[in-house]
Amino acid sequence: MKKVGIALLGLGVVGSGTYRILESKKEKIMRDFGVELEVRHVLEKDTSKAVALGIDLSKVSCDIENVVKDDKISVVAEFFGGIEPARTFLLAVLKAGKSIVTSNKELFSKHWPELEAAAKETGAGIYFEASCGGGVPIIRALHESCQGNDILEIKGIVNGTTNYILSNMSEHGSDYAETLKEAQKLGYAEANPSADVDGFDSTYKLSILSSLAFNKRVPYTSIYREGISKVTIDDIKFGKEFGLTVKLLAISKNVNGKIEAHVYPAFIPDDHPLAKVSGAFNGIYVVGDNVGELMFYGKGAGDLPTGSAIVSDIVYAATRAEHRRYPFILEAEAQDFNDDFVSEYFLRLTVKDETGVLSAITGILGKAGISIDSMVQKAGSNGKATLAFVTQKTTELTFRKALSELEAAPCVTEINSVIRVEK
C-alpha cells in the first residue's frame, strides 16, 4: 500500500485534533483511499503536548530542516497561525516539493500568490479547506462543485467567536466582555481578540472565498471592515421589534460585473437561514446563477471540526497524481469594485422629546430621497426620546450625507447607531 509521510507544524488545539483524527481514522483511510498516512515529524517546543498524544519524542523537534530534509515526508500541515515563521517554513517545504495543508487564513489571504508560485515551481500542492469555515467544506464546494455557475453572492457568518458573542447577547442579554472571555476559554477565539471582534479574521476568510468565487484575487485590504464592538443590547432589542437579528456578516457580491465586498455587523430578517446560525457555528450562504441558493453550515472552529477539514486536505494531497492549480494571478483593481453600494439601514437616534421633532427627522431623510420602511419610538427620561428607523434601499453615499445632516440638526442629541440591514 502507498505510504505517505506527514509532518505537523505545531500541536496546538487544531494540530492535536488533527493528530487524533489521523490516528483514529488510519485504518479507515487505508481501506477507503488506499494510502497509509504516517506522521513522521512534529515541530513543537512544548514536548508535553506530544507526550499527551503518545507521540514518540524522537519525532519531535523545533528544527524545520528535519522536515525539509526528510524525503519520505510529502505533506506538511501547518498550525502555527500568523505570518511568521509559518510563511518561511511553508515556502521552504514547498521549494522541497512537499505539499502544504493549512488553516492559516491570515497567511493565505496575504501571501497566496507567493505560496502558489513556489508550489507551481516544484509541482507541490497547496490545500486550505480549513482556512474558511473550519470543518465546513466550503472551499472545495466553491472551486470544484460550482463550475457551472457564476457566483452572484456569498453571505457568510465565518467567525465563530463573534457569532458566539452576538448570539449570547441576543438570546440571553449577556455581557459582551464576559462572553468574549468564555469564547476564549472554549478555544474559538484567536490569540489576539481584535482579530475576531474587529472583523480581521472574517476579512481574511472573505478575501479567500471571494477570490475563488470571482476568479480574481480580492485582496483583504480592499474589503470594507467594521467589527462588532459598537453593537449594543439596545440595538439588539430594537432589532427584535423589527423582526431582525444581528450577525457579523462577510458579504461579497457580483453586481453587474462589479465586486462589492464588506465585513460588518448587519441585521438580517429572523427567518433568513443565517439568522438560525447560533453560537460558535458558521453558516455560508451562496447564490449561483444556475444552482440558486446554497447554504453551508457547521462548526467553524475547534480541534476536531477544523482537524476534519485538515485531514480531508491531507488525504487529497496524499492521493493526487497532480495537484490543482489556481491560475489567477490577476488582482482585482479599484475599477473592479463598487464602493457606493445599495443597502437598507437601521438607524437609532436620541432626540429631544418635543413637538415637530419626528417630522424634522423624517424631513431630512425625505429630502435626501431616503424612504422609511418602519419606525419605533420610545419616550425616555429627561425630555429625551429614542427613535429607531429601518430605511428602504439607498446608497451608502446618500445615507452618509443624510447622516451628517442629522448630526447637525438641533433636535438630535445623539446618533446612537447605524447598522446595515441585509434582506
Enzyme catalytic residues? 205
Comparing C-alpha atoms, which of 99, 59, 110, 56 is closest to residue 77?
Answer: 99
Beta strands in 118-233 (DSSP E): 126-127, 151-157, 224-225
- Report how many residues bind ligand HSE under the rule CB under 6 A: 11
CA 369 to chain centre: 34
- 188: contact with ligand HSE by CB under 6 A: yes
Sole window of 182-190, 314-322, 352-360, 415-423 interacting with ligand HSE (rule: CB under 6 A): 182-190
Compute the least distance from the CB of residue 111 to ligand HSE, in Å. Answer: 17
- Cell 419605533 locates to 376
Which of 159, 343, 391, 394 lies at the binding interface for ligand HSE (CB under 6 A)? 159
Interface residue with ligand HSE, options 196, 226, 344, 396 (CB under 6 A): 196
Q: Does 125 bind ligand HSE (CB under 6 A)?
A: no
161 in contact with ligand HSE (CB under 6 A):
yes
CB of residue 140 vs ligand HSE: minimum separation in angstroms? 17
Least Cβ distance, residue 276 to ligand HSE (angstroms): 18
**For ligand HSE, what does the binding mask look like between residues 294 and 313, x meaning CB under 6 A?**
------xx------------
Which of 19/188 has CB closer to ligand HSE?
Answer: 188
Distances (CA, A) of 51 to 38, 92, 300: 17, 27, 27
Q: Does 239 bind ligand HSE (CB under 6 A)?
A: no
The rounded distance, in Å, linking the Cα atoms of 355 and 350 is 15
Minimum distance from residue 125 beta carbon to ligand HSE (Å): 21
Of the residues 106, 190, 198, 344, which one makes contact with ligand HSE according to CB under 6 A: 190
Q: Work out how close the CB of 252 gets to ligand HSE at its nearest, in angstroms, rounded to a whole number.
A: 18
Closest distance of CB 302 from ligand HSE, Å: 8
Q: What does the DSSP 8-state code read for residue 220?
A: G
Taking the C-alpha atoms of residue 14 and residue 10, their distance in angstroms, rounded to an integer, is 9
Q: By CB under 6 A, is residue 8 in contact with ligand HSE?
A: no
Residue 241 to residue 245: CA distance in whole angstroms: 10
Cell numbers given for 173: 442579554
Residue 164 CB contacts under 8 Å (≥ 6 apart), including other chains:
179, 182, 183, 186, 188, 279, 280
- Min separation Cβ 176 and ligand HSE, Å: 15
| Cell (9 digits) for 421 | 440591514
Binding pattern to ligand HSE, positions 338-367, x when CB under 6 A?
Answer: ------------------------------
Q: Could you tell me which stretch among 188-196, 289-297, 330-338, 361-369 binds ligand HSE (CB under 6 A)?
A: 188-196
List the one residue from 5, 125, 134, 288 that touches ligand HSE (CB under 6 A).
Answer: 134
- Range in contact with ligand HSE (rule: CB under 6 A) among 109-117, 159-167, 173-181, 346-354: 159-167
Q: Could you tell me which of 219, 214, 290, 280 has the C-alpha nearest to residue 253? A: 214
CA atoms within 13 A on the CB side of 377: 12
CA distances from 175 to 109, 115, 152 (A): 32, 41, 37
Touching ligand HSE, residues 201-220 (CB under 6 A): 201
DSSP state of 130: G
> Helix, strand or coil for residue 234?
helix
For ligand HSE, the closer of residues 269 and 279 by Cβ is: 279
Q: Which is it for strands 384-391 and 342-352: parallel, antiparallel or unpaired?
A: antiparallel
Q: Note whether 6 binds ligand HSE by CB under 6 A.
A: no
Q: Which range touches ligand HSE (CB under 6 A), out of 142-150, 158-166, 215-223, 344-352?
A: 158-166
What are the E-state strand segments in 62-218? Answer: 73-78, 99-102, 126-127, 151-157
Q: Does 226 bind ligand HSE (CB under 6 A)?
A: no
Question: Residues interacting with ligand HSE, by CB under 6 A?
Answer: 134, 159-161, 188-190, 196, 201, 300-301
